[in-house]
């Protein structure tokens, strides 16, 4: 196979080399459209800037926004929940003499608990709320109980209410 280029205003592509039994796409030096990508590339993904729109074949517009972050705190500031999209990071203050912490996250107002985390060794936990809760049935609440005697009761402060994701 050979390529011929008519005379006139067309430019011969640069970087063209023939490979046996393979097709080589010519390079014209300047990239346009979907060829012009930078940074990390996800195969098959369309790129858009924050706040830009894509027009679909059916004429619909798709908007792209950066996920907002919201912080929720209980009334005594002992438990904080940072939510970005559906990811929630629960952070609580260390209690002197604590043997274990119990984090309960559930629906309001029923109090049904779906995440029940016992931990003696750390004071933060990140959870994808979409894996445990329906976005339709939000908001959720979080409650932290602290155990100071092994086998004893968990005593907690006020809950963090109305956590939306």
Output the DSSP codes for 72-138: EE-TTSSEEEEEETTEEEEEE---TT-SEEEEEEEETTT--EEEEEEESS-SEEEEEGGGTS-GGG-
| pLDDT score, position 36 | 47
At 67, give phi and psi (nearest 5°).
-60, 130
pLDDT interval class at 40 (50, 70, 90):
low
Determine what percent of the chain is predicted with pLDDT higher than 70. Answer: 59
User: pLDDT averaged over the chain?
Assistant: 75
**3-class secondary-structure state, position 142:** strand
CB 49 within 8 A of CB 132: no
Q: Quickly state the pLDDT bin for 35 (edges 50, 70, 90).
A: very low
| pLDDT of 57 above 50 | yes
pLDDT tens, residue by residue, 105-117: 888 766 666 777 7
Residue 29 or 95, more confident: 95
pLDDT in tens, 110-149: 666 677 777 777 788 898 888 888 766 678 889 898 989 8
pTM of the model: 0.58
């Amino acid at each position: 196979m050979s390529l011929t280029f008519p005379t006139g205003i067309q430019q011969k592509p640069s970087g063209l080399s023939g490979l046996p039994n393979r097709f080589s796409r010519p390079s014209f030096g300047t990239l346009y459209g979907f060829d012009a990508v930078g940074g990390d590339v996800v195969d098959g993904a369309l790129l858009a800037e924050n706040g830009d729109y894509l027009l679909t074949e059916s004429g619909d517009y798709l908007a792209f926004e950066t996920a907002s972050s919201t912080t929720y705190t209980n009334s005594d500031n002992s438990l904080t929940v940072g939510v970005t999209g559906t990811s929630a990071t629960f952070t609580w203050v260390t209690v002197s003499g604590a043997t274990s912490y119990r984090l309960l996250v559930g629906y309001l107002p029923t109090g049904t608990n779906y995440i029940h985390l016992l931990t003696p060794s750390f004071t933060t936990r990140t959870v994808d709320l979409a894996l445990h809760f329906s976005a339709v049935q939000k908001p959720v609440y979080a409650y932290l109980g602290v155990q100071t005697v092994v086998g004893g009761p968990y005593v907690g402060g006020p809950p963090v209410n109305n956590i939306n994701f």
